[in-house]
Amino acid sequence: MPNAILATDGRTLGAAALRTRRTLLNSVATELKWTPYRDVRIADIARRAKTSNASFYQYFPDLDAAVLALAEDVARNDFASPASATGDTGREAAAELVDAFFRFYHANRTVLRAVEAKAAEGDERFAELRQKIYGLLTTTLEHTLMSAHPRATDRDARAATAASLALLVMAAAAQHPRHSHLSADAAAVRAAVVDLLHAAITRRPTAPLTTTPMH
């Protein structure tokens, strides 16, 4: 069973143990909503899960391991299919992509913030997961650029453009409040991101995107 989830002592977890593990992960996610990462205590997680510290350590060696497990779950939940952004490069498609990522970010905000904080500290495990989580956004944008400019030949430039646009959308999502309809400023930021994305995708592919020379 190569994909079996193991306890910290190497035992394969049964159904009841997997339910306890999930309860603990849900407790970690809840604690992260209200408590800065550095202040989260195992005792509080165990108390919320109605179990003990010893039980927590049967499943995770430390808090980082639990958050990594949560982040792995997030990485498996695609925010949108790349196909949803190909074939239509109008402003409506750009808006749908932005809104889909905003929803994904807000649904996973607490875990993503923890991942970003640990990645910023230089923890390679979290840095790799951060890249994996946000990779689909970059891939989606690269597919969209390719669909909008099928004659473009500079793949590296296209990838760089997609990565830059992904950073824009990610930064906007991190600053965008969940209830954007309550804030005119938030709505304006969202509209500006959509406009920038649409303009970048539909502009003439001069630099950095290059086209096949005409003969």
pLDDT in tens, 170-179: 988 888 766 5
Domain borders along the chain are 15-60, 75-202
Chain segment 158-210, per-residue pLDDT in tens: 888 889 999 999 988 888 766 555 566 778 888 899 999 888 888 765 554 44
pLDDT digits 0-9 by tens, 130-146: 998 888 888 888 888 88
Please name the residues in contact with 104: beta carbons below 8 A apart, sequence gap of 6 or more.
Answer: 77, 79, 80
Selection from 162, 191, 12 nearest residue 99 by Cα: 191
Residue, of 212 and 117, whose pLDDT is higher? 117
Six-digit token string for 103: 């929803």
Q: Tell me the CA distances in angstroms from 174 to 56, 104, 105, 194, 195, one per residue in order.
A: 30, 11, 7, 15, 18
Structure tokens at 162: 């997609």
Name the CATH superfamily for 15-60.
Homeodomain-like (1.10.10.60)
Mean pLDDT over 26-55 rounds to 94
pTM over 0.95: no
Strand partners of residue 6: 12
- CA-only gyration radius of the chain, Å: 21
Torsion of the alpha carbons at 31, 60, 71 and 103, rounded to the nearest 10: -30
Closest CA to 147 of 85, 61, 208, 68: 85
